[in-house]
A and B are shown apart, each in its own frame.
Chain A
Amino acid sequence: MIDVLYFAWVRERIGLPRERLETGAATVAELVEELRAREERYAAAFADLASLRVALDQELSSFDAPLAGVREVAFFPPMTGG
Chain B
Amino acid sequence: MRVAVQSQPFDVGAEVSAFTSGVRGAGAVVSFTGLVRDEGGTLSAMEIEHYPGMTEKAISAIAEEAVGRWSLADALVIHRFGKLGPGEAIMMVATAAPHRGDAFAAAEYLMDYLKSRAPFWKKELGAGGEAWVAAKDADEDALKRW
Contacts and interface: CB of A to CB of B under 8 A. Distances in A.
A80 B54 contact: no
A8 B116 contact: no
A80 to B, nearest CB: 5
Contacts of B123: 8
Contact of A81 (B53, B57, B79): B79
Interface residues of A, number: 16
A74 interface: yes
Interface in B108-128: 111, 114-123
Interface string A24-53: 000000000000000000000000000000
Contacts of B119: 7, 55, 74, 76, 79, 81
Contacts of B117: 60, 79, 81
B40 to A, nearest CB: 20
Given A7-B121, A8-B49, A79-B120, A74 B54 contact: yes
B122 A80 contact: yes
Find the residue from A55, A58, A60 having the highest chain B CB count within 10 A: A58
Contact of B116 (A74, A76, A78): A78
B118 A55 contact: no
Interface of A: 5, 7-9, 55, 58-60, 74, 76-82
